[in-house]
Chains A and B, each alone.
Chain A
């Protein structure tokens, strides 16, 4: 019961200043990261598992995106070794579509803002009790009845306009918890696992994610999860009094 009281107290003030600041810093960075990230993906829209993956290796799947999809032109391959299943090399004959000169630098610039925002958010969320009282689901909230009730509440249209900010119902708590404690840190970690400089210092990253290409594939699926979250997040704002919600995240209430 005391937990519930503390929760109500934290939630009664609308969005706190540091939440609003880090929210917009991370939101801005994520939009730039998506834009530059999709541009980077278009240079090589194929995904692999393990440490190595390229046009001469069978991909897990290929994303139908941009001019390089199913479009590479190689000279006949030569084997490195005599055996019939030897790895091969081949000369690429047509320069692929590639905007990575600016897209990569923009991605990493935005990644600095993202990392700063996420670090500040996580530190403050843990230090102020925000994580414990506002985001973390209570045990009684995880009961099936309560979950089902909240699912039904989300299916009733039109949805009632609500006061911006906490307290949050269980689905909202679960969504935010998953995003800030799992998806966003995973984005950061799989991102740096693709870096040859950082993995030289922390080879454990390659072990954790099963290789540089596995990290890239996880990076992509986590992006897809975050993109879906973003769409639902925006839809919920539109359905529950968008101007008041926007005002709440800018001014606090």
Chain B
């Protein structure tokens, strides 16, 4: 009896070790952020898979009252056409300056990749899709937080309008300051993941990413890219090279 129990517990132990190994090295490597042999990226993947495994994918972040809205600094790129602060790309900056001078009337959001109807949306078209307003807490990796009201179109509505394919696994975002980042379909289809064009009841200020920014409420602030210009749906993980977070030493998943 004792022997059998020992065997069982050994089996349980090995099973446990194997399944915890699976959190770091799952079978499908093109569905996982690459680690490039870096132990920090392996830790990031452990956190990513553990959160996906242990936490509900539909849980909503706390939403606040209008009276709880706080001050919020604009950091990083505060204007893609400025070369002195934040990220700057000469071509993107020039294009951005031209669009802003026309009050973004000619701005378009391209949606392409693993979708049946690749297309572009004007700001007015996005505003005619269903809208969602949420007052949420922004958590910056630096340690500060702020509460603001965001109005926009749920990303899932935009993906549906473009006919996202069943094989799609990730959604990548590209910006005017030549940054890029991606999220998996769990976050992409989450009801609080929106493309925001309004902040605190007015149009989105330039410093906060006008005309359109992403809000990924269950991740750290830098995942909510500002100054969006293009969305690419992919079936595989894409580290996005020097424009993405991983090659710059940052975690791709940041639910913590």
Q: Of the candidates A53, A198, A213, which one forms a contact with B255 in the assembled complex, judged by CB atoms under 8 Å apart?
A: A198
Question: Which one of B67-75, B174-182, B230-238 is at the interface?
Answer: B67-75
Interface string of B68-112 (1 = CB under 8 A from A): 111111111011000001100000000000000000000000000
Question: Which one of A173-181, A188-196, A233-241 is at the interface?
Answer: A188-196
Is A105's CB under 8 angstroms from B256's CB? no
Is A54's CB under 8 angstroms from B43's CB? no
- Complex formed: what's the CA distance from A46 to B207 in Å? 23
B199 neighbours in A (Cβ, 8 Å): 80
Closest to B60 in A: A200
Is B73's CB under 8 angstroms from A55's CB? yes
- Please give me the 3 A-B residue pairs with the lowest Cβ-Cβ distance, nearest first: A197-B255, A109-B43, A44-B143
Is A89's CB within 8 Å of the partner chain B?
yes
Is B218's CB under 8 angstroms from A197's CB? yes
Is B219's CB under 8 angstroms from A51's CB? no
- Complex formed: what's the CA distance from A55 to B145 in Å? 10
Is A41's CB within 8 Å of the partner chain B?
yes
Is A6's CB within 8 Å of the partner chain B?
no
Is B142's CB under 8 angstroms from A109's CB? no
- Complex formed: what's the CA distance from A37 to B79 in Å? 31
Is B75's CB under 8 angstroms from A41's CB? no
The answer to whether A108 and B43 touch (CB under 8 A), given A51-B137, A92-B78, A195-B256, is: yes
Q: Of the candidates A54, A56, A192, which one forms a contact with B140 in the assembled complex, judged by CB atoms under 8 Å apart?
A: A54
Is B147's CB under 8 angstroms from A51's CB? yes
Is A221's CB within 8 Å of the partner chain B?
no
Is A196's CB under 8 angstroms from B218's CB? yes
12 contacts between A and B (CB under 8 A): A52-B147, A75-B78, A87-B200, A89-B72, A93-B85, A106-B43, A109-B40, A196-B217, A197-B55, A199-B61, A201-B56, A201-B59
B217 neighbours in A (Cβ, 8 Å): 196, 200
- Complex formed: what's the CA distance from A98 to B255 in Å? 19
The answer to whether A196 and B61 touch (CB under 8 A), given A92-B75, A108-B47, is: yes
- Complex formed: what's the CA distance from A93 to B200 in Å? 23
Least CB distance from B86 to A in Å reads 7
B143 neighbours in A (Cβ, 8 Å): 40-41, 43-44, 46, 216
B47 neighbours in A (Cβ, 8 Å): 108, 112
Interface string of A13-56 (1 = CB under 8 A from B): 00000000000000000000000000011011010000111111
A106 neighbours in B (Cβ, 8 Å): 40, 43
Is B32's CB within 8 Å of the partner chain A?
no
B46 neighbours in A (Cβ, 8 Å): 109, 112
Is A87's CB under 8 angstroms from B71's CB? yes
Question: Which one of B5-13, B157-165, B243-251 is at the interface?
Answer: B243-251
- Complex formed: what's the CA distance from A3 to B139 in Å? 50
- Complex formed: what's the CA distance from A201 to B205 in Å? 31
Closest to B190 in A: A200
Is A56's CB under 8 angstroms from B256's CB? no
Is B72's CB under 8 angstroms from A87's CB? yes
Least CB distance from B222 to A in Å reads 10
Is B256's CB under 8 angstroms from A54's CB? no
Q: Of the candidates A55, A89, A108, which one forms a contact with B256 in the assembled complex, judged by CB atoms under 8 Å apart?
A: A108
Q: Of the candidates B86, B144, B207, which one forms a contact with A55 in the assembled complex, judged by CB atoms under 8 Å apart?
A: B144
Is B156's CB within 8 Å of the partner chain A?
no
Closest to B48 in A: A197
Is B200's CB under 8 angstroms from A81's CB? yes
Task: List residues of A (41-94) whose CB comes within 8 Å of B's CBs.
Answer: 41, 43-44, 46, 51-57, 74-75, 77-78, 80-81, 87-94
Is A253's CB within 8 Å of the partner chain B?
no
Is B55's CB under 8 angstroms from A101's CB? no
Is A95's CB under 8 angstroms from B40's CB? no
Interface string of B188-214 (1 = CB under 8 A from A): 000000000001111001011000000
Is A160's CB within 8 Å of the partner chain B?
no
